[in-house]
């Protein structure tokens, strides 16, 4: 960014990605951070920032007149825990996002908006065709619901009404979210690493720290209305990912069929974990402008496991540990 102070707004700054993005952006003294968060959050780590409580639906937008945004990182999404509540939330999210877009369009200098989406928007690539930023959207799993909320931003981008840039990360490796729930917790309970479906599905991976670094880079150095796929290196088959993880934990993999996956977690999770979505990028220059801290699967997993090991003392022992 230029050597002038900028107002950076983060909508949803306390989630898995949002919290890491706040930490990344806070490293620059030129960034004045303004966060929209829910009421029930750990405020201690938010003390250095300008914090507003509320949601996309009721946030007082006139704050943007007092603190005019230069860049908005949008990670806020109205959630649900089943098909009906996700559908209702996505429609409420669409209405809330239209409200934001209408207001931003009235500003003398509308900001850059980086909307953090995901690779599930591209859909299952059964022919293993790699998807770049110009590939057709064909959402699967959770993305079937999320896209409804994103449509107002997609339409605003198509009209070039606002400089909207979509960041679409692949599978983000960190000590929470999908990896903790479906791999680490499974390992803690069984002592084995799950091999989901037939294991041939391709995964594009990125470590959380590299993910937020590239999201910030898109806001800082991206072109107007540019989208960007975020990943590290070539995609790997899920069976390879599971085997590397098992090797690091000195254990073995165990198959979890599609049928068992549906029984355990439901159809939406099953579809997400068994979809093959290999990512590529049409913007190699943008990709190479960011130096990856964790460029391969092994280093990503080593760092993630290290973070989880620090938390392990408050968790129950694995079956393997209990037998010792």
Please give the backbone phi and psi of residue 202, each rounded to the nearest 5 degrees, phi first. -90, 135
Band (pLDDT 50/70/90 cuts) for residue 322 is very low
pLDDT of residue 178: 95
**pLDDT over 70 at 321, yes or no:** no
Residues 185 and 238 in one domain: yes
**pLDDT over 60 at 304, yes or no:** yes
Residue 248 within a domain: yes
Query: CA distances (Å), 64 to each of 13, 94, 149, 223, 291, in order?
Result: 17, 20, 22, 23, 33
Q: Domain total for the chain?
A: 2
Give the span between the Cα atoms of 170 and 297, in whole angstroms: 13
Residues 124 and 198 in one domain: no
Contacts with 201 (C-beta within 8 Å, 6 or more apart), sequence order: 237, 238, 273, 274, 275, 276
Residues 30 and 167 in one domain: yes
pLDDT of residue 251: 98
Residues 129 and 194 in one domain: no
pLDDT of residue 43: 66
Residue 281 within a domain: no
Residues 114 and 249 in one domain: no
pTM, whole model, 2 decimals? 0.92
Residues 161 and 113 in one domain: yes
Residues 68 and 86 in one domain: yes
* CATH number of the domain to which 63 belongs: 3.40.50.720
Report yes or no: 277 and 124 within 8 Å, Cβ to Cβ.
Answer: yes
pLDDT of residue 42: 66
Residues 14 and 143 in one domain: yes
Please give the backbone phi and psi of residue 236, each rounded to the nearest 5 degrees, phi first. -125, 155
Contacts with 110 (C-beta within 8 Å, 6 or more apart), sequence order: 104, 162, 163
**pLDDT over 90 at 314, yes or no:** no
Band (pLDDT 50/70/90 cuts) for residue 158 is very high
Diameter of the chain measured on Cα atoms: 66
Residue 240 belongs to domain spanning: 177-203+234-276+292-310
Give the span between the Cα atoms of 221 and 240, in whole angstroms: 34
**pLDDT over 90 at 284, yes or no:** yes
Residues 24 and 116 in one domain: yes
Report yes or no: 231 and 169 within 8 Å, Cβ to Cβ.
Answer: yes
Report yes or no: 48 and 26 within 8 Å, Cβ to Cβ.
Answer: yes
Residues 137 and 240 in one domain: no
Residues 216 and 297 in one domain: no
Q: What proportion of the chain, given as a percentage, has pLDDT over 90?
A: 80
16-25 helix and 208-221 helix, angle to the nearest 10 degrees? 60
Residue 187 within a domain: yes
Report yes or no: 208 and 172 within 8 Å, Cβ to Cβ.
Answer: yes
**pLDDT over 70 at 5, yes or no:** yes
Provide the phi-psi class of 8: left if phi over 0, else alpha when psi is between -120 and 50, else beta: beta
Residue 287 within a domain: no
Residues 182 and 272 in one domain: yes
Lowest mean pLDDT among 34-38, 132-136, 210-214, 295-299: 34-38
Contacts with 263 (C-beta within 8 Å, 6 or more apart), sequence order: none
**pLDDT over 90 at 48, yes or no:** no
């Amino acid at each position: 960014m230029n050597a002038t102070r900028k107002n950076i707004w983060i909508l949803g700054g306390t989630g898995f990605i949002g919290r890491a993005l706040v930490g990344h952006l806070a490293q620059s003294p030129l960034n004045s951070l303004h966060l929209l968060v829910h009421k029930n959050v750990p405020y201690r780590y938010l003390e250095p920032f300008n914090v507003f409580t509320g949601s996309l639906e009721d946030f007082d937008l006139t704050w943007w007149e007092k603190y005019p945004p230069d860049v908005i990182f949008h990670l806020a999404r109205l959630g649900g825990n089943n098909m009906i509540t996700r559908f209702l939330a996505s429609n409420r999210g669409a209405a809330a996002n239209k409200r934001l877009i209408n207001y931003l369009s009235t500003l003398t200098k509308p900001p850059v908006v980086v909307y953090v989406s995901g690779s599930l928007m591209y859909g299952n690539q059964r022919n293993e065709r790699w998807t770049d930023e110009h590939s057709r959207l064909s959402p699967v799993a959770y993305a079937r619901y999320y896209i409804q909320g994103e449509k107002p931003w997609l339409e605003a981008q198509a009209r070039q009404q606002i400089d909207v840039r979509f960041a679409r990360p692949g599978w983000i490796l960190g000590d929470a979210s999908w990896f903790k729930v479906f791999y680490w917790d499974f390992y803690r309970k069984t002592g084995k690493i799950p091999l989901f479906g037939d294991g041939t599905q391709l995964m594009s991976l990125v470590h959380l720290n590299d993910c937020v670094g590239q999201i910030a880079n898109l806001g800082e150095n991206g072109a107007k209305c540019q989208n960007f796929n975020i990943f590290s290196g070539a995609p790997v088959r899920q069976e390879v990912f599971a085997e590397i993880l098992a090797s690091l934990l000195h254990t073995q993999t165990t198959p979890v069929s599609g049928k068992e996956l549906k029984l355990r977690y439901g159809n939406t999770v099953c579809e997400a974990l068994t979809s093959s979505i290999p990512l590529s990028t049409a913007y190699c220059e943008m990709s190479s402008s960011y130096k990856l801290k964790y460029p391969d699967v092994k280093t990503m997993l080593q760092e993630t496991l290290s973070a989880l090991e620090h938390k392990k003392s408050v968790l129950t022992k694995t079956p393997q540990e209990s037998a010792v």
